[in-house]
Amino acid sequence: MNLASYRKKSPWILHYNAGGCNGCDIEILACLAPKYDIERFGMINTGNPKQSDILLVTGPVTKRSRERLVEIYAQMPEPKVVISCGACASTGGVFRGMYNCEGGVDQFIPVDVYVCGCGTRPEQIIDGVVQALAILEKKTKELEESVKLKREAVKEGHQLNRRHIADEIKPVLS
Amino acid sequence: MNDVLIPVILILLAPLLGGLLYGFERIVKARMQRRIGPPLLQPFYDFLKLAGKRRMMVHSAHAFLGIMHFVSLWFALAVLLLGGDLILVIFLHLLSTSLLILAGYSTRSIFSHLGANRAAISVLAYEPVLIILAVSIFMLNGTFDTAAVFTSSEPLLYKMPLAFIALLLVLPIKLKKSPFDVAEAHQEITGGVELEFSGLFYEAVYTAKWLDYVFCYTLVFLFAGSNILLGAGLLVFTFLYLNALDNSTARVSYKQMLRFSLGVAFSLAFINLLINSLT
Amino acid sequence: MGRQYEIPVGAQHISLLEPLHFKFTTENERIVRTDANVYYVHRGIEQACCSKFKFRQVSFVVGRVCGLCSISHTTAYSQVAEKLLKIEIPKRAKYLRMLVIELDRIHSHLLCLSHVAENSGFEALFMKTMQYREFSMELLEAVCGNRIQYDFSIVGGVARDLKPETGQLILQRLKNFMPQLEELVGIYQHNWTLSLKNKGTGVLTREDAMRLNVVGPFARAAGLAVDVRNETEDLLPWKEVGFEMITDTAGDVHARNMIRLREIGVSIRLIRNIIDGLPESALLTETKAFPDGEATVRLEAPRGELFYYAKGNKTQVLERLKIKAPTFSNVAGMVHAFTGNEYGSAAAIIASYDPCLSCTAR
């Protein structure tokens, strides 16, 4: 029995609307409702970036919401997965090229799963989240390996902070 | 031998029991809302996941307080199960809650502050009732030790039914259940004091919630004395009552909660105390 | 006088569907001042409609202004374009437009009610309302082919016909829904804790509603009888299918809930009448003309009066398009009605306004 394989059964969701039309947002709400019930997969809508694993973004990124988007993404602890819900979150959609739209979430934060459709159907959203789970597991493994290496590198001060993680990895065995 | 072994096993297994109870409760809640609900072991999946997240903390004191909240709560539970002083148990529980409240005040987040405020008010709402309860037990048994209660052949429920009702009224405050979940209030303050915890440190707070379940249900079990069958009946009744209440009420404001708790639950407990001391 | 806290809600908050920022100044959790910042979702649709898109494409673009009332936007735009083209659309198209608008109103109102329930901390009622709401989404999918973005109205008529069996399906589902609606009315009306939370909170008096110029269910709950369906007859024949005005006097969250629930009842009656009296005619009026001149249109969206202004210059591209969304009128009333309430009720009050900021900011 491998305990680590059960980790992916508990994805907690954070939802942010970066300037969309509400269409995908109400479908995300419909996912919580009895007909689709995503709590079956252990998903909770936390509303708190510090405790979330999956960021669901809807809407083309407007100029005012882009800083909030990046801020929220930065507050989430790794491993984290970003899903862009809907055509306009993925590419900008019909809003592409409008003067206050940046167009596409992936210009600002790395997106792992693109969910198509205008608006996305709840089934598509659930499918997207299930795909994200596999990516989440992969990222968890990668993170564990890399942390092991880097911990050796930042022994000075006995503290692990953001600046140190970005440091160049020194050889473990000298 | 046996009267030490069973509590020790219970204490060691308390997080496990609490987790199972929490998972079962989530299923019951989902079924009451006509959903399928998560699997039974869902809290443990959450536990494993939170352990694997990156450790982010606001500052070290905050994280330390969160972990100490868990440890002191477990300690309070241990004292309760081993038959210690009931007053001591209640104050140890108060200590663990106040550690969490301190953690809430130690950050700069406004929601965390509000949550700490509200958690402090919740303590004000349920703590007097618990203390009166302990005093009533003292009046009856002549001792504060819970061991005497656990072994007494005559259940407390028959002697002080009003106090049991008062306990039922304040349990939703303690377990953060609707209508008295103002301290957590997800839609208003997004979790309150828990807000700034993440990763491993949130895990401590999350697991402490399970311990709280065990703690509260043990308090309910106290009323059955040594009658195990009655105790099981009381536990099932309390579980169903809490979930039915949770699913049929909206959240009231903290002022209404305080008024209700001190007005109704406290007076019930107090009348009970008077009756006990007169007879 | 307690210490004053400033509580920011938004741009991301669990009780908000859209980015919107409120700054509440509170004293002992009592709100003394509110600042609202609603323009996070400004995308520049109006400008794009006048430069990037041809006038026949614009009806699909304005549908994306808002996902909740997209049919109101497409219909209002189609009507204003038809005025510019000086054409009259077939009667069946008018009836079908009304049908989809009313179905959309049912789904929008139920969503708003469920949101109020959730923000009041009543999760079970949220789930129940969302479950009952699914029937309207399925009906909209059966009629239009999509769950949220319908693109049903196009310039000159409607895009799809209503099959007789779909009409029967709608009647059947509405019949099933009636007892569920009564159940919901019972809960929203009589649940004690919900009324503790909702009665007397977020009150907007009739005078304030008049002064601050609010529209839609928000105004009707305060006692103002404003409904475009009652005022205009030229574009969509509302009176013919039995429209009836509903008002309340209390002006609080509870009154808004009740207004929405009773309006759902009216919508159901309208839909029945529309399907029973659906006239036979073509669906589309073809024309090769180009838009010319100026025109305005008013339409009752689920949130209130929607206003469209358009100006054409005999080319494919419009010269000016102006959208005034219902929430834009309500912002002043929204901010006003917070004062004096508990912060704990703020989430429920926000939900009861049913704000649609993607409409407001465009």
Give the residue extent of every domain in chain A.
Answer: 8-145
Q: Which residues, listed in sequence order, are joined to residue A17 by a DSSP beta bridge?
A: A58
**Cα–Cα distance between C341 and C338 in angstroms, integer?**
6
Query: Considering only alpha carbons, which residue of chain B is nearest residue A141?
Result: B52
- Cβ distance C17 to A16 less than 8 Å, yes or no, reads no
Residues listed for chain B: 279
Q: Which of C197, C194, C181, C247 shows the shortest CA–CA distance to C217? A: C247
Query: Considering only alpha carbons, which residue of chain A is nearest residue B32?
Result: A34
Give the residue extent of every domain in chain C.
Answer: 4-361
* C290, two tokens: 């180009």
The count of other CB atoms within 10 Å of the CB of residue C159 is 17
Q: What top-level class would CATH report for the domain A8-145?
A: alpha beta
Q: Which of B223, B241, B245, B244 shows the shortest CA–CA distance to B232? A: B223
Cis-peptide, bond into residue C326, ω within 30° of zero: no
pLDDT > 60? residue A154: no
Contacts of B122 (CB under 8 A, 6+ apart): B173, B174, B180, B182, B183, B254, B257
- pLDDT for res A167: 55
**Cα–Cα distance between B27 and B12 in angstroms, integer?**
25
Torsion angle, alpha carbons of C125, A27, C322, C245, to 10: -30
Q: Which of B67, B199, B45, B68 shows the shortest CA–CA distance to A160? A: B199
- Give the range among A109-123, A148-162, B106-120 with minimum mean pLDDT: A148-162
- pLDDT for res A172: 62
**Mean per-residue pLDDT over chain A, rounded:** 78
Burial B96-120 (b: 16+ CB within 10 A, else e): bbbbbbbbbbbbebbbbbbbbbbbb
Low-confidence ranges of chain C (pLDDT < 70): 1-2, 11, 15
The model's confidence at residue A157, banded by pLDDT at 50, 70 and 90, is: low
pLDDT > 60? residue A156: no
Residues of C in contact with B187 (CB under 8 A): 14-15, 118-121, 347
- Give the range among B13-17, B247-251, C13-17, C85-89 with minimum mean pLDDT: C13-17
Average pLDDT over residues B134-158: 75
- pLDDT for res A169: 55
Contacts of C306 (CB under 8 A, 6+ apart): C69, C72, C73, C76, C298, C299, C300, C323, C324, C325, C326, C359
Give the residue extent of every domain in chain B.
Answer: 2-278
Average pLDDT over residues B65-70: 88
Contacts of C252 (CB under 8 A, 6+ apart): C198, C199, C200, C201, C202, C203, C221
pLDDT > 70? residue B272: yes
Of A37, A50, A144, the CB nearest to B56: A50
Pairs of CB atoms within 8 A across B/C: 83
- Cβ distance B190 to A47 less than 8 Å, yes or no, reads yes
pLDDT > 70? residue B73: yes
**Cα–Cα distance between A71 and C2 in angstroms, integer?**
32
**Cα–Cα distance between C257 and C269 in angstroms, integer?**
19
**Cα–Cα distance between B78 and B215 in angstroms, integer?**
9
Burial C213-225 (b: 16+ CB within 10 A, else e): ebbbbbbbbbbbe
- pLDDT for res A107: 82
A3 touches chain B (CB under 8 A): yes
pLDDT > 60? residue B279: yes
DSSP annotation of C250 reads -
User: Which homologous superfamily does the CATH classification assign to the domain defined by C4-361?
Assistant: Cytochrome-c3 Hydrogenase, chain B (1.10.645.10)
> Distance of CA B253 to CAs B244, B250, C198, C297, Å?
20, 10, 11, 44
Residues of A in contact with C327 (CB under 8 A): none
pLDDT > 80? residue A11: yes
Chains that touch C (3 or more CB pairs under 8 A): A, B
Residues listed for chain A: 174
Q: What percent of chain A has pLDDT over 90?
A: 0
Question: What helix, strand, coil percent values describe chain C, rounded to 5?
Answer: 50, 15, 35
Tens digit of pLDDT for each residue in B156-213?
777 777 888 888 888 888 888 777 777 676 666 777 777 778 878 888 888 888 888 8
What is the distance, to the nearest Å, from the Cα of residue C33 to the centroid of all Cα atoms in its chain?
27
- pLDDT for res C36: 80
Residue A110, CA atoms < 13 Å, CB-side half-sphere: 6
Phi, psi angle pair for C297, to nearest 5°: -140, 140
- Cβ distance C19 to A121 less than 8 Å, yes or no, reads no
Of B45, B54, B199, the CB nearest to A9: B45
Q: Which of A28, A37, A32 shows the shortest CA–CA distance to A55? A: A28
